[in-house]
Structure 1
Amino acid sequence: MAGLCVDLSGNRIVDHVDLTVHAGEWVTVIGPNGAGKSTLLRAVGGLLPATGAISLFGTPAGALRRRDRARIVATVVQMPAVPPGMTVFDYTLLGRTPYIAPLGRESAADLAAVRDVLGQLDLDRFADRQLATLSGGERQRVFLARALAQGATLLLLDEPTSALDIGHQQEVLELVDQLRRDHGLTVLATMHDLSLAGEYADRMVLLADGRVVAAGPPQDVLTEELLATHYRARVRVILGDHGPLVVPVRPRIVARADGGAGADQGDASGISVGLGHHKT
């Protein structure tokens, strides 16, 4: 993408973003709340109007019909809408929509593709279960299954682990990375957890106020100076086996003149709760 801009309700949310994601690469976009991360992904996926140039594997996005674009790009949003009572199989089958003619029915090949994807993600035993009855981690795998059923080569993941505990976060990200290696997928993601982002991404992009303020390998983007500036956070960055690990650090405690201790910022008076007495 080059010079990508998105305006919503008269406000510039994404401001002249230039970004190239190479085939087979995993790029993660980070940034504080309101930086424009999700808006950027939605624009790339064709879900929001944008100006500037978006090219998908060498083809201008504007030259693609919606159906053809859906065969290239699959998006997993933070909170997908799930029709009540829908089974895992039927939800995954929605991913085959770009291959089904208008007013047509799914083919044997479509059904086979869904069964294959559910098997790959160890979801075949849930095929007849209603999606609403699954755990958060299981549902997230079903959302990925629908995206994979599209046969798309670009996977857009908007906060794929935001509602999961740490075990399911690792499970989902390992699954995405394995699928990327096995199927040659290209991944563009947004993530809040900086340590997880740094462990899985090949490259990272830091957005602030809709603009790219840093881009490159995780170790070049996840620095204490950049995170302090743009997140207003005290952190320590530790080099891990697979990437930088970002650890929040509490404010420094300083001694008070009365012999107590207090934080070096803010009101240290604390909170007191009084218990009243009823008169008799």
Structure 2
Amino acid sequence: MSAVSVVSAVEVRDLRVELGGAPILDGVDLTVAPGEWVTVIGPNGAGKSTLLRAIGGLVTGIGSICLLGTPAAKLRRRDRARMVATVTQSPVVPPGMAVVDYVLLGRTPYIPPLGRESDADLAAVREVLDRLDLSGFADRELATLSGGERQRVFLARALAQGATVLLLDEPTSALDIGHQQEVLELVDQLRHDHGLTVLATMHDLSIAGEYADRMVLLADGRVAAAGHPREVLTEQLLARYYRARVRVVDGEHGPLVVPVRAAGTRVRSAPS
């Protein structure tokens, strides 16, 4: 019997992106299997956000991107939006917009031009609000919510798209550690319950390794390392590419990264 080939959720080959004439990504290869969680890490300026924006169709580049086996270049914008949903670092929220109206924007790929939302669209929004325990906030202005609550609303809009691939650009960057854990646990639960594929970028290495199935380390627009979190989050790699002094501790769900001060560092007392 011949082996059954599995179509990748995301497949990127030799991706090159320039912005303002400056090279941002230079020959990046990336494959994400259906249902997998892959986290992209790297120092500032490595190209992490640009990679997600290219996959989401927000920037163009040279190379190939396939989504669920279809070349992205052949997809209409609406069809692409039904496959891939993006949560950016700082989503733009119109002033005064209520939670339910913001989440309803996720149904845009299904609403005909100059048309209105259908009963099916409204039902999809209600289901997502219930799933993320947001029904009680439906009529609240988004600006009045806490950071963790807003992040759940941003996820709700993405889920309302009905896409199977979630692109999360620094989903916990503005949250305290408690809300970081809350959001990441929620994403992981949704992934397992609904077969979602997650491609995320994260700065916080202290918890990134606990959630990803695989990690990709970008540096200077190239893939410097890829593999299981224990293969990527090593003291040697983090010292080389982040210029950081850390200790990597093996935790129950993955490696934990702990920053450490240089030996002999002392805090000088303020002059009296």
Identify the TM-score tier after normalising by the shorter chain. over 0.9
CA distance in 1, matches of 2:60, 2:71: 15
Paired position in structure 2 for 1:116: 127
Cross-structure match for 2:211: 200
Query: Match for residue 19 of structure 1?
Result: 30
Partner of 2:91 in structure 1? 80
Q: Give CA deviations for 1:231-252 in whole Å, capped at 9, x if unaligned.
A: 0000000000000000011100
- Code of the residue aligned with 2:35 in structure 1: it is G
Q: Deviations over 1:34-71 (max 9, x none)?
A: 11000110000000011100000100000000000000
SS at match of 1:62: helix
1:46 matches 2:57: yes
**Counterpart-to-counterpart distance in 2, 1:222 and 1:154:** 25
Secondary structure (helix, strand or coil) at the match of 1:122 reads coil
Deviation string, structure 1 residues 185-237 (Cα, Å, up to 9, x no partner): 00000001112110000000000000000000000000000000000000000
Give deviations 1:118-139, integer Å, cap 9, x for gaps.
Answer: 0000000000000000000000
Q: Structure 1 residues 8 and 272 mapped into 2: Cα distance closer, same or farther (>3 Å)?
A: same
Map 1:192-271 onto structure 2 (within 5 A).
192-253=203-264, 263=265, 270=268
Equivalent residue letter for 2:169: D
Give the partner amino acid of 2:141.
Q
Matches within 5 A, 1:87-236: 87-236=98-247
Secondary structure at the residue paired with 2:32?
coil
Equivalent position SS for 1:28: strand
Distance 2:73 2:242 in 1: 35
Residue from 68, 73, 89 that aligns with 2:79: 68
Q: Answer yes or no: is 1:28 the counterpart of 2:39.
A: yes
Q: Could you tell me the TM-score, scaled by structure 1's length?
A: 0.91
Using the TM superposition, give the Cα deviation of residue 15 of structure 1 relative to its aligned residue in structure 2, in angstroms: 0.8
Q: Offset of 1:142 from its aligned partner?
A: 0.1
- Letter of the structure 2 residue corresponding to residue 174 of structure 1: E
Runs of 4+ in 1 over 2 A off after TM superposition: 268-274
Partner Cα separation in structure 2 for residue 193 and residue 240 of structure 1: 16
Structure 1 residues not aligned, in runs of 5+: 254-262, 275-280
Q: What's the secondary structure of 2:174's corresponding residue?
A: coil
What residue in structure 2 maps to residue 259 of structure 1? none
Aligned amino acid, residue 227 of structure 2? G
Question: Based on CA coordinates, which of the two structures has the bigger radius of gyration?
Answer: 1
Match of 1:57 among 68, 72, 75: 68
Q: For residue 18 of structure 1, give the secondary structure of its aligned residue in structure 2.
A: strand
Q: Are 1:2 and 2:13 an aligned pair?
A: yes
Q: CA RMSD in A?
A: 1.2
**Which one-letter code corresponds to 1:53 in the other structure?**
S
Partner Cα separation in structure 2 for residue 210 and residue 132 of structure 1 = 35
- Number of matched pairs: 261
CA distance 1:270–1:127, change in 2 (3 Å): same
